[in-house]
Amino acid sequence: MAEALGTRTVSGGSTNGSVGPAIPWQDRPAGSKALVWRHRENPVIPRAPMPGVQGIYNSAVTPFGDGFAAVFRLEKTDRFPRLHVGWSEDALDWQIEPEPVVFSNWTDAPSHYAYDPRVTAIDGEYIVQWCGGHNGPTISLARTKDFRTFERLENAFLPFNRNGVLFPRKINGNYYMLSRPSDNGHTPFGDIYLSESPNLVHWGRHRFVMGKGGDQVGQWWQRTKIGAGPVPIETPEGWVMIYHGVIDTCNGFVYSMGVAILDLDEPWRVLYRTNQHVLTPEAPYEVSGHVPNVVFPVAALHDQPTGRLAIYYGAADTCTALAYTNLNELIEFTKANSAVF
Amino acid sequence: MAEALGTRTVSGGSTNGSVGPAIPWQDRPAGSKALVWRHRENPVIPRAPMPGVQGIYNSAVTPFGDGFAAVFRLEKTDRFPRLHVGWSEDALDWQIEPEPVVFSNWTDAPSHYAYDPRVTAIDGEYIVQWCGGHNGPTISLARTKDFRTFERLENAFLPFNRNGVLFPRKINGNYYMLSRPSDNGHTPFGDIYLSESPNLVHWGRHRFVMGKGGDQVGQWWQRTKIGAGPVPIETPEGWVMIYHGVIDTCNGFVYSMGVAILDLDEPWRVLYRTNQHVLTPEAPYEVSGHVPNVVFPVAALHDQPTGRLAIYYGAADTCTALAYTNLNELIEFTKANSAVF
Amino acid sequence: MAEALGTRTVSGGSTNGSVGPAIPWQDRPAGSKALVWRHRENPVIPRAPMPGVQGIYNSAVTPFGDGFAAVFRLEKTDRFPRLHVGWSEDALDWQIEPEPVVFSNWTDAPSHYAYDPRVTAIDGEYIVQWCGGHNGPTISLARTKDFRTFERLENAFLPFNRNGVLFPRKINGNYYMLSRPSDNGHTPFGDIYLSESPNLVHWGRHRFVMGKGGDQVGQWWQRTKIGAGPVPIETPEGWVMIYHGVIDTCNGFVYSMGVAILDLDEPWRVLYRTNQHVLTPEAPYEVSGHVPNVVFPVAALHDQPTGRLAIYYGAADTCTALAYTNLNELIEFTKANSAVF
Amino acid sequence: MAEALGTRTVSGGSTNGSVGPAIPWQDRPAGSKALVWRHRENPVIPRAPMPGVQGIYNSAVTPFGDGFAAVFRLEKTDRFPRLHVGWSEDALDWQIEPEPVVFSNWTDAPSHYAYDPRVTAIDGEYIVQWCGGHNGPTISLARTKDFRTFERLENAFLPFNRNGVLFPRKINGNYYMLSRPSDNGHTPFGDIYLSESPNLVHWGRHRFVMGKGGDQVGQWWQRTKIGAGPVPIETPEGWVMIYHGVIDTCNGFVYSMGVAILDLDEPWRVLYRTNQHVLTPEAPYEVSGHVPNVVFPVAALHDQPTGRLAIYYGAADTCTALAYTNLNELIEFTKANSAVF
Amino acid sequence: MAEALGTRTVSGGSTNGSVGPAIPWQDRPAGSKALVWRHRENPVIPRAPMPGVQGIYNSAVTPFGDGFAAVFRLEKTDRFPRLHVGWSEDALDWQIEPEPVVFSNWTDAPSHYAYDPRVTAIDGEYIVQWCGGHNGPTISLARTKDFRTFERLENAFLPFNRNGVLFPRKINGNYYMLSRPSDNGHTPFGDIYLSESPNLVHWGRHRFVMGKGGDQVGQWWQRTKIGAGPVPIETPEGWVMIYHGVIDTCNGFVYSMGVAILDLDEPWRVLYRTNQHVLTPEAPYEVSGHVPNVVFPVAALHDQPTGRLAIYYGAADTCTALAYTNLNELIEFTKANSAVF
Amino acid sequence: MAEALGTRTVSGGSTNGSVGPAIPWQDRPAGSKALVWRHRENPVIPRAPMPGVQGIYNSAVTPFGDGFAAVFRLEKTDRFPRLHVGWSEDALDWQIEPEPVVFSNWTDAPSHYAYDPRVTAIDGEYIVQWCGGHNGPTISLARTKDFRTFERLENAFLPFNRNGVLFPRKINGNYYMLSRPSDNGHTPFGDIYLSESPNLVHWGRHRFVMGKGGDQVGQWWQRTKIGAGPVPIETPEGWVMIYHGVIDTCNGFVYSMGVAILDLDEPWRVLYRTNQHVLTPEAPYEVSGHVPNVVFPVAALHDQPTGRLAIYYGAADTCTALAYTNLNELIEFTKANSAVF
């Protein structure tokens, strides 16, 4: 049936335009008008999915070979966050490596944490980005071609930084990466910036892209902080950047999902930005967990012929969930409900 | 059956003693000795009740014509709080206006927020009170006769203030309003005051009514802050003021419901005050949501012949729920379990 | 010499235009181009001025009879702030009552604190405004004709509020008072508002007047909070409002003096506002003391024929100092160095 | 069946080696490899277990006579925490005294709070330890032989302290008690100490036992604070100390259960300490409640012949739950997964 | 002259009643009515008194042999606080040991800090009390007979504690020590407690003695925290306890000196307590320094025949100063200006 | 006399080894053994040095032509920090441009702040580094050859960063810059890092150099944060890096001066580091001012033939002061009093 056919041209890491595996898909539930709808069997990776593992969440998925590879944030019962590789034919049922990723050229102590990874396919290889420790959290990088050996690169930035997301191709000959300068705690503020690099080692020409909201209409749901999510998706309208926006309540942060569209050639220019979230914690696995009320998008698989989009997100810092939308509808919605500030 | 008969004389905004519509009602569950019991089909207005709407909660309901009108706190997916009118024949099934209330004479920018409304029927018209922005939250006011056109009045107080509740009749020729002076954040403190006005414009003779609790028995459940809830109900024993009390735990605030009885002629005098809450977060829609563990009463419908009381409360800053009690039993309980401090 | 002649028409509390006593005066020091210059014998009331008294500061001075009266914030060695009356022929050498002011009609406990008084002469009597306790600081009021008996009025506002300053005449038939809504601590924020009253009891039609600064030029010195100082002075250009602006450093707040000009008929409209302070802590008695780095203006004496202005200010929460300027020069400077935001 | 046979020799308060009642027991669920597994009918004492009672949690259970006695933290709807005695034949179904424990020799006001009790059987009597008020929380003590009359002893320590746990026998002639020095709030830090006493009145020779974790592997789940749980269990390997470890997330604390083994003769020496939690909030009654995400162990019953261990823990500061393990397996796991720091 | 004659019977550490060296003395300045007056050549030990030493302050002085010994808090330019012994014939001119005190039986790492010492002469030896590190500050103890060899005792209390002060004789056969339970930072609160010990090792029967002030008259100068100062002085009226009281301003804490009188036999009973400070930062070396506005009394020398009292206090956490008073006048003042709460 | 002769070879920005102007000099005061001693006529630039200017401090000085140039942090009475150029023949008497520096290619709004500049002479031009605004403070750069026209470069880093200091020559073909990652406030933490650039635009290979201190000996004076000061001075022993260390007291931060020596070829390696400050606030202009207790070194002039070193430092965020030392002695002291951690 339709759900198995979303195939030939898959992005979300793979070279745009290539033929790839079928991405996960479920049609919009009958009668629903939701722009984004949840996978019926969510969470895809439940709480405590393997013996001794407490949770897998905020993780990256990418087409690889005939199937998919993933770099997971996995916490064993010691709650120490590390990266683990996973393999899947359908991007739903995952074989997860029991041992964490080992990097060649790792200059930190072996115990250092690693969390909230993204994976960008670019120029025939995969660049992993994550939040790593360097006397304070910042953006760490590594390259791999096979998800078995990983060569660690230099950290991109000085501390303190989180949510680094590399674009899937060079623009005018340079690499570009989004990030969110932070502090050394839970950071009750945060805006999205863009940085440029000729070589993935030295970074500069930093540009402010867009900031957290405030007291105005269209800004409340994201008034505390924002951060980029999946690898931006190239479209004729611009780069589609799915991101998280956070509001602080008297009982803690609430993380929701929003969308922005950035200029293709000058990606620090925001063309559109949703004045409302497109997914917010409502399901049981989103509102309860180790950190309640978190919807945290980190990866997206795109089937170009159909426009289908499968978005992976961490839920409540406890499990991994999946939601669907149609990219064209998402773009139309974003353009029609935009507030750039 | 009995649940449809609670009719003729309804207050909760309407002129006391008049014949009004039947208020919602369910008998106390068999075998239960609860003083206050929940509507079996709670929440009355569930999470995400309409397309594009995230939640409706902390809202005011009042008898109107042959049925009921409401002023809802409604948040679309941009989470910006605004007031929307609703209509219902039974105060359970609501037709909600898709557009927010528009006020004539609105002097602020159109984008300013509005939340936690109350509605008081007085002298043949309805006064809406809510927490509005004026370079910081304070108590905003408007009058209406038909819930279609609203004339905005002056803000009653300087910032910062929340939970303004107007009494349903003049006392000795003046209007009286309860409120809770606050700060510009989530306010980890708060007491209830009373202010007087000859004209709904100028306010003075401010009186401290009652304060948050402390380390003593009878005070822990309300030790962080308190705030008035529904419009006070006039009885021979005094004004029955249902209010919320808050305790701060290591994981955030817990909001519960309590009751006080104020002197009829000098309503700044507290005659009784429950030394315990009468409803506390226990149901799933109360303990989970965008702000977990919130029971926030804002409106009450009273059927005088039977003493039935239907209390509307916001649950977890996510949905609207309903609970029932008998006013006489509530008064007896308050008198028998009172600690005034 | 010239310093004794600044006489006939004195305001700063007195009826505008009346002949009053000579205000203190010292010419601008030779060679100085300062807009505002200090009294050479500062502080006028030194640290520990009387046995058992730790400090007198942040106090109000007004012409009275053939000389001057004052309402002082006086702290004995118990540091409890109270109001004491003082008498002087030249407004420099003060006889200070050893006992605090006793108010008729005082409804609070006799021990409640009182600080930062202002005195406004209006309609043949004197209204004292101060920060008083009412389960939290707010603006207290009293009236007197002779500075010997004081009748206490209702508190003007709900808590929390500070720096209430009453205008010296009715405008369009109503009283107007500036104030600064606050919180219950040291308040790291604060803007100036205006409220209206027909009777000095009920207050409303609250208007935002002007806010604290921010990151822009002209705003840094006042970026934490602001508050009105002396009674505004009526001039053809508008109401001259001298105020304090505060910046927070890593070692605490620094209080400086600035000037704004408000519209004569609509005093919530700011016409001009200095983009810099006109006096900042530099003298030893300003930079050291119980609260270092405080210049806090609270009263001003104006000699209309000459334009001389003598400004009383608290220094370092420890003593009382005096500075001089010429009102016309001050207005010109304010107009020429204005940033309204 | 097997679940009723865990009998003859029970500790957890009783004299080691004596024949006692059968402790609660359920075999590890088929197919499960969990080290610690939950009672299938959890919570043992549910939310709102009696009329007017909001919750019973963080409570002590001990063998007594032919059955069991308990000292419960019980909160009525006023949320004021007090101690109540309970009786049970099977340690699952409890008769709970409706009135709180009355202590002879109580020197504080009768209203003072009492929470998080432990009970230690020693030298033919029972010592109750709890967190009591003494101008700030500290460790209070009382002795009883029958759980009907309780003689209060002196508070062991100066404020501020929590989680006092007395060892079940003297060591080298002295009493020893674990505790966690705290502050006067929710305390975002905390280590475990040991103190010595010749007489249960005077305490000294304080020793640091073990601290909260940090950024290293094995420490994240307990990086905010730790506190001892049940009475330590004597084994040939050392004293088995079950404790709670806390991590702070952006939405609050998460409490999990861990294990340490202390030297038999020098119990301030840590031999082993789990580098991961052995139980963490995952069940609905653990992740939701008045304080979400709390697993708080306070008592353990041990059946020596079989090694069965039944652990009572408070869940979400709302109800009482039970989990099982085998002591030998727990020890082996702790030794094999240890990080002492 | 008179200033050298204050001799024969000196306490402040020495056995009461014995003949000791002449204490420092200067008569009250002519014309002054000050209860407490400063040494004219203050500070006695100035800022940067020796090469490489930044400051000596908050230190203990005691009669010893024909002269005086001291235990100083000395900070070299590394600002690490340590204890150094000093010797003097007149208690004004000091020979200070360049090396810090070395304790036998020191169980902590040699680097641990030591600050704010007191010295109590009791039973023919000297007990030094100070704030020492034990995974958090608490009260450390050592004994000496010659100020050359020091035997370290056990820490008296669990962390966190400061300002431990031992009484100069046993009362009813037990030692008694005042202290101030604290937290692990700058502690914005703090009350004085009393603890009992049979052996200087085990401590218990903890009693609350007196608390910090509040909003009432007599309490503001000490509203943030209080702590005992010099060794209490035995008089027929009771134990005279000089202490510090702290108020928090928007620019930091201000430390002043106050006096209480405790019952001779039940020293946890407060008979009198000054409703005002008797010395507050006013001199240049008190208002400026590394911690401005600190007057911190730690030792007192008493000449019984004359009643002369010389009080050593740290000034601005930078230098050591001296003030004088007459003990009888101090007692009379305390009784006449007392507020016990 | 000797003070005018310190000439021929001056560094501190100039090309090493060139003949430059005579640097300021005063011999160590007779009888003093101070390692670093103050200029007798300090402050060099006093408080309020020009009309309308409140203070000049934390500023950079460099040899230029026959004399010296400077880039000053200048605050007018609006307290907005900007950069102003100054000229001097002797580096003591300064002609200061009344208008702030204008940068070509300035992409921010003209109002953005600029503070704490450094100037590095390298490859025949001068690179100015300062803390500039870019939606949060970070390190801004500009180049000049004549101190009249300045070309602005890209900001080196993402926010938040302060105290950027560029090395005076390339090392192995790359530029190197020290900096201190910060947050968006007063930042109660901070370590020194090193970053590499091939082109002054893109930066990477970030290395941790050295961190703030802690509870150990040698670390207290710098336990809150540290930051690089003047341009490092090349010597055979390594790069001499003068820096500031900060300790937080209950009344605020205290900034002192320390010294480290970095490896010549691998400047992220710390060879030596003073375990004590070498200059700390003691002079009146250091302990009092708008931010009391600040000694903040930012520039140093070095006379190679004699080893004389003149160090410019900001005092109390209010004025500019000068101190002297001998470089060889400073190195010897650093090596002999070193604690690297």
For A54-75, the pLDDT digits (tens) are 999 999 999 999 999 999 999 9
E177 has a pLDDT exceeding 70: yes
- Which residues numbered 298-337 in A keep a CB inside 8 Å of some CB on F? none
Which pair of structure tokens corresponds to residue D215? 């950024």
* Cross-chain CB nearest to E220 (options C52, C78, C252): C78
Q: Are B122 and B96 in contact (CB under 8 A)?
A: no
- The residues that bridge with B137 in the sheet, in sequence order, are B133
Q: Which of B107, B152, B158 to mutate to test the interface with C (most CBs of C within 10 A)?
A: B158
Contact across the interface for B282 and D113, Cβ inside 8 Å = no
* Cross-chain CB nearest to E288 (options C80, C253, C288): C288
Q: Which of D80, D108, D162, D294 to mutate to test the interface with B (most CBs of B within 10 A)?
A: D80
Q: Which of F36, F251, F341 to mutate to test the interface with E (most CBs of E within 10 A)?
A: F251
- The answer to the question of residue B2 being in a domain is no
Asked if A268 has any chain F CB less than 8 Å from its own CB, the reply is: no
- The answer to the question of residue D4 being in a domain is no
Asked if A134 has any chain F CB less than 8 Å from its own CB, the reply is: yes
Residue A143 identity (one-letter amino acid): R
pLDDT tens sequence across C151-193: 999 999 999 999 999 999 999 999 999 999 998 888 888 999 9
CA distance A127 to chain D (A): 25
pLDDT tens sequence across B33-81: 999 999 999 999 999 999 999 999 999 999 999 999 999 999 999 999 9
pLDDT tens sequence across D19-43: 579 999 999 999 999 999 999 999 9
* Cross-chain CB nearest to E211 (options D135, D198, D208): D135
Contacts 24+ apart (CB under 8 A), F181-185: F181/A136, F181/A158, F181/A159, F181/A160, F182/F137, F183/A160, F183/A183, F183/A184, F184/A183, F184/A189, F184/F136, F184/F137, F184/F159, F184/F160
State mean pLDDT over E68-84: 93
What is the CB neighbour count within 10 angstroms for residue E94? 23
- Report CA-CA distances (Å) from A69 to A38, E161, E235: 22, 55, 83
Residue in F249, E150, E134 with CA at minimum distance from that of residue E142:
E150
E124: left (phi over 0), alpha (psi -120 to 50) or beta: left
Q: Which chains touch B (3 or more CB pairs under 8 A)?
A: A, C, D
Residues of chain D neighbouring A52 (CB-CB closer than 8 A): 276
Residues of chain B neighbouring A277 (CB-CB closer than 8 A): 54, 77-79
CA distance D206 to chain B (A): 28
Distance between CA atoms of B76 and B60, rounded to whole angstroms? 18
pLDDT of residue E104: 81
Residue in B156, B153, B162 with CA at minimum distance from that of residue B115:
B162
pLDDT of residue F14: 39
Q: Are F283 and F45 in contact (CB under 8 A)?
A: no
Residues of chain D neighbouring B285 (CB-CB closer than 8 A): none
- Report CA-CA distances (Å) from A223 to A250, B133, B229, C217, E263: 14, 16, 28, 26, 59
Size of interface A-F (CB pairs under 8 A): 82
Count H helices and E strands in chain D, helices first: 2, 23
State mean pLDDT over B306-320: 97
pLDDT of residue A188: 87
Distance between CA atoms of E277 and D300, rounded to whole angstroms? 54
Assess whether chains B and E touch, using the rule of 3 or more C-beta pairs within 8 angstroms: no
D171: domain CATH number is 2.115.10.20
F3 has a pLDDT exceeding 60: no
Contact across the interface for A221 and B133, Cβ inside 8 Å = no
pTM of the prediction?
Answer: 0.90
State mean pLDDT over E63-73: 97
pLDDT of residue D299: 98
- The answer to the question of residue A146 being in a domain is yes
Contact across the interface for E276 and C76, Cβ inside 8 Å = yes
Residues of chain D neighbouring E189 (CB-CB closer than 8 A): 184
Asked if D249 has any chain B CB less than 8 Å from its own CB, the reply is: no
* Predicted ipTM of the assembly: 0.86
CA distance F282 to chain E (A): 7
CA distance F12 to chain E (A): 26
Question: What is the span of the domain harbouring residue B125?
Answer: 14-45+54-336
Distance between CA atoms of C182 and C138, rounded to whole angstroms? 9
CA distance B48 to chain A (A): 8
Chain D residue with minimal CA distance to B288? D288
Asked if D186 has any chain B CB less than 8 Å from its own CB, the reply is: yes
- Which residues numbered 24-83 in C keep a CB inside 8 Å of some CB on B? none
Residue D156 identity (one-letter amino acid): A
C15 has a pLDDT exceeding 50: no
Residues of chain C neighbouring B203 (CB-CB closer than 8 A): 202-204
pLDDT tens sequence across B150-204: 999 999 999 999 999 999 999 999 999 999 999 888 888 899 999 999 999 999 9
Residue B297 CB contacts under 8 Å (≥ 6 apart), including other chains: B229, B230, B242, B243, B244, B257, B279, B311, B312, B313
- The answer to the question of residue A97 being in a domain is yes
- The answer to the question of residue E164 being in a domain is yes
Q: Are B21 and B67 in contact (CB under 8 A)?
A: yes
Residues of chain B neighbouring D294 (CB-CB closer than 8 A): 251
Count how many domains chain B has: 1
Q: Which of F250, F256, F275, F338 to mutate to test the interface with E (most CBs of E within 10 A)?
A: F250
pLDDT of residue C136: 83
Which one is predicted more confidently, F262 or A109? F262
Distance between CA atoms of E11 and E67, rounded to whole angstroms? 12
Distance between CA atoms of E257 and E228, rounded to whole angstroms? 10
Residues of chain C neighbouring F111 (CB-CB closer than 8 A): 216-217
pLDDT tens sequence across F217-245: 888 899 999 999 999 999 999 999 999 99
| CA angle (B129 as vertex; B123, B130 as ends), nearest 5 | 170
Q: Which of D56, D78, D183, D317 to mutate to test the interface with B (most CBs of B within 10 A)?
A: D78
State mean pLDDT over C262-291: 94
Chain E residue with minimal CA distance to C136? E215
Residues above pLDDT 90, as percent of chain B = 84
Chain D residue with minimal CA distance to B218? D78
Residue in F238, F248, F247 with CA at minimum distance from that of residue F270:
F238
Asked if F198 has any chain A CB less than 8 Å from its own CB, the reply is: yes
Residues of chain D neighbouring A289 (CB-CB closer than 8 A): 287
Residues of chain D neighbouring B218 (CB-CB closer than 8 A): 78, 80
Q: Which chains touch A (3 or more CB pairs under 8 A)?
A: B, D, F
Size of interface B-C (CB pairs under 8 A): 82
Distance between CA atoms of F268 and A244, rounded to whole angstroms? 36
Asked if E100 has any chain C CB less than 8 Å from its own CB, the reply is: no
**Strand bridging mode F252-262 / F233-235:** unpaired
Residues of chain C neighbouring B270 (CB-CB closer than 8 A): none
Distance between CA atoms of E267 and F270, rounded to whole angstroms? 56
Assess whether chains A and E touch, using the rule of 3 or more C-beta pairs within 8 angstroms: no
Q: Are F252 and F188 in contact (CB under 8 A)?
A: no
State mean pLDDT over F146-170: 96
Q: Which of E56, E80, E224 to mutate to test the interface with F (most CBs of F within 10 A)?
A: E80
Residues of chain B neighbouring A34 (CB-CB closer than 8 A): 51
- The answer to the question of residue C9 being in a domain is no
- The answer to the question of residue B313 being in a domain is yes
- The answer to the question of residue F7 being in a domain is no
Assess whether chains F and C touch, using the rule of 3 or more C-beta pairs within 8 angstroms: yes
For D42-81, letters b (16+ CB in 10 Å) and e give: bbbbbbbbeeebbbbbbbbbbbbeeebbbbbbbbbbbbbb
pLDDT band at residue C17 under the 50/70/90 scheme = very low
pLDDT of residue F173: 96
